[in-house]
């Protein structure tokens, strides 16, 4: 089946089998390997991408379902060689250890900050509750999201 | 994990979908949010030759309160329920429930129709709908029919839907004055199924006695369970320590849990007792706070 979709503002087209999972289209066909596959059982969220602005698990969706849709992956965060404030936050606060969950954490965090400019710690923890970090580095991940929220607020106020 | 090959169909109308489902019969599975179906297909516990994706059918996603009924379209996502002002203001039981289903990412795709039609006894909406006394609207090639929720769940993963029929809407009676509800779920971690969960919806009379009580139990039997004896024990009576503990004891007696990694039979049964008592108290508290609230939220989402 022919699938057309937009990823990070760029149009893509591919011929796919209906059973091809969205994450495999993204990684194996389109070679955007920033999105990870972790548990492959809808638990860990390493494969999180934004579908029409909402974070979803791309291992639990068929590529054909994304036909005509607009997606964003972790590669879409950096703009003109400049890291997104959330990525800066993960660096500044040591929000990653092994880094495997990071693409998913970033996408869930990015979507969350879009609707919650002044989040509480509890709200952040709920927002990333579908993303597992097996280094258990949650404390610093929460700090990284808070760091980004502050940067984004200061940027908006300027 | 790669699912077995299947033929993909994306009907653009309800008529096309029901005609297709009638033709394909047992060979077809409906793809709604896909958050139960796709994991099952990846594990090859389910390998349907045909998948009918209903996401392209317009007009199946809505939350509307009118004429004393809250109507929810089958394709409404759990996250949309969570964000709905009507539900937050007037249906606390539903609001409690949609916030504890799976995790926030899954809820962006998972649908209320799928949660019910999949009929997993571990799913949360079935018990909620039993407590609320909801109705299921099914559409087939021959037209539309309404199924009371109490006769909807016929077995584990089995419903009263016939091949060719599609769940299109859920109808919930709008709450009478002095109504309240609550959902109490114990889960080992976010995203796990309930060890046990209890849904309560009740309406109090002006004198504080119970006019109507609905109690539904999650994941403590082969189907979701309506705790009818517990409900009946509260009819016309005030909620106090004695009536609550009696109803909680009867609800625990109605449960038929099996032992697994989440706990033993005795543990789960006692959990039902504890959660029932907590849900009754919370529902009553909300019913009393609710009495002043008579404003219409019609048309608001």
| Domains defined along chain B, listed by start | 7-53 (3.30.43.10), 63-173 (3.30.465.10), 179-288 (3.30.390.50)
* pLDDT given at position B295: 40
The verdict on A27 touching B (C-beta cutoff 8 Å) is no
Helices marked H in A93-129: 102-115, 121-127
Residue closest to B51 by CA, chosen among B35, B36, B38? B38
Nearest by CB to A17, from B5, B34, B53: name it. B5
Residues of A in contact with B53 (CB under 8 A): 64-65
Query: So where are chain A's domains?
Result: 2-76, 85-157
Per-residue pLDDT band for B294 (boundaries 50, 70, 90) equals very low
* pLDDT given at position B292: 40
Contact B108 A55 (CB under 8 A): yes
- The complex's ipTM? 0.97
Give tens-digit pLDDT for B228-276: 999 999 999 999 999 999 999 999 999 999 999 999 999 999 999 999 9
Contact B52, B136 (CB under 8 A): no
Query: Checking DSSP bridges between strand A70-72 and strand A2-7, what pairing results, if any?
Result: parallel
Question: CA–CA separation, B69 vs B61, rounded Å?
Answer: 16
CATH assignment, A2-76: 3.10.20.30
Give tens-digit pLDDT for B3-61: 999 999 999 999 999 999 999 999 999 999 999 999 999 999 999 999 999 999 999 99
CATH topology assigned to domain A85-157 = DNA polymerase; domain 1 (1.10.150)
Per-residue pLDDT band for B215 (boundaries 50, 70, 90) equals very high
Q: Number of residue pairs across A and B with CB atoms under 8 Å? A: 80
* pLDDT given at position A40: 94
Q: Tokens 């099914």 belong to which residue?
A: B138
Helices A138-157 and A85-92 cross at an angle (nearest 10°) of 140
Nearest by CB to A40, from B1, B79, B108: name it. B1
The 10 Å Cβ neighbour count of residue B89 is 15
Residues of A in contact with B103 (CB under 8 A): 45, 129-130
List residues bridging with B198 in a β-sheet.
B184, B217
pLDDT at B296 exceeding the cut of 60 = no
Contact B34 A54 (CB under 8 A): no
């Amino acid at each position: 089946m022919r699938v057309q979709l937009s990823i990070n503002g760029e149009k893509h087209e591919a011929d796919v089998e209906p059973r091809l999972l969205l994450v495999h289209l993204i990684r194996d066909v389109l070679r955007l390997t920033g999105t990870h596959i972790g548990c492959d059982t809808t638990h860990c969220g390493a494969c999180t991408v934004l579908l029409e602005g909402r974070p979803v698990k791309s291992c639990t969706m068929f590529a054909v379902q994304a036909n005509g849709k607009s997606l964003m992956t972790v590669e879409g965060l950096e703009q003109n060689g400049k890291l997104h404030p959330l990525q800066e936050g993960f660096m500044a606060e040591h929000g990653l250890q092994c880094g495997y969950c990071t693409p998913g954490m970033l996408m869930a965090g990015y979507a969350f900050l879009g609707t919650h400019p002044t989040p509480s710690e509890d709200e952040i923890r709920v927002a990333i509750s579908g993303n597992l970090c097996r280094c258990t580095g949650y404390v610093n991940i929460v700090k990284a999201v808070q760091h980004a929220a502050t940067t984004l607020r200061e940027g908006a106020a300027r | 994990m790669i699912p077995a090959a299947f033929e993909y169909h994306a009907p653009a109308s309800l008529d096309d979908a029901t005609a297709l489902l009638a033709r394909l019969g047992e060979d077809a599975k409906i793809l709604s949010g896909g958050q139960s179906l796709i994991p099952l297909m990846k594990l090859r516990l389910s390998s349907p030759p045909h998948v009918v994706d209903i996401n392209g059918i317009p007009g199946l996603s809505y939350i509307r309160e009118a004429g004393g009924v809250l109507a929810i379209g089958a394709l409404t996502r759990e996250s949309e329920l969570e964000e709905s002002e009507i539900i937050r203001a007037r249906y606390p039981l539903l609001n409690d429930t949609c916030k504890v289903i799976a995790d926030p990412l899954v809820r962006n795709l998972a649908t209320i129709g799928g949660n019910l039609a999949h009929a997993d006894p571990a799913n949360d909406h079935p018990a909620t709908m039993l407590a609320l006394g909801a109705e299921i609207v099914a559409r087939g090639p021959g037209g539309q029919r309404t199924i009371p929720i109490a006769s909807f769940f016929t077995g584990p993963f089995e419903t009263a839907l016939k091949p060719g029929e599609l769940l299109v809407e859920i109808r919930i009676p709008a709450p009478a004055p002095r109504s309240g509800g609550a959902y109490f779920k114990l889960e080992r971690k976010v995203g796990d199924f309930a060890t046990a969960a209890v849904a309560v919806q009740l309406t109090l009379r002006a004198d504080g006695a119970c006019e109507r009580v609905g109690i539904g139990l999650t994941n403590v039997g082969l189907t979701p369970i309506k705790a009818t004896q517990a409900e009946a024990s509260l009819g016309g009576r005030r909620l106090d320590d004695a009536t609550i503990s009696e109803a909680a004891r009867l609800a625990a007696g109605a449960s038929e849990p099996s032992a697994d990694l989440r706990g033993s039979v005795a543990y789960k049964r006692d959990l039902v007792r504890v959660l029932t008592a907590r849900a009754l108290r919370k529902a009553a508290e909300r019913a009393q706070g609710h009495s002043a609230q008579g404003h219409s939220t019609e048309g608001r989402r």
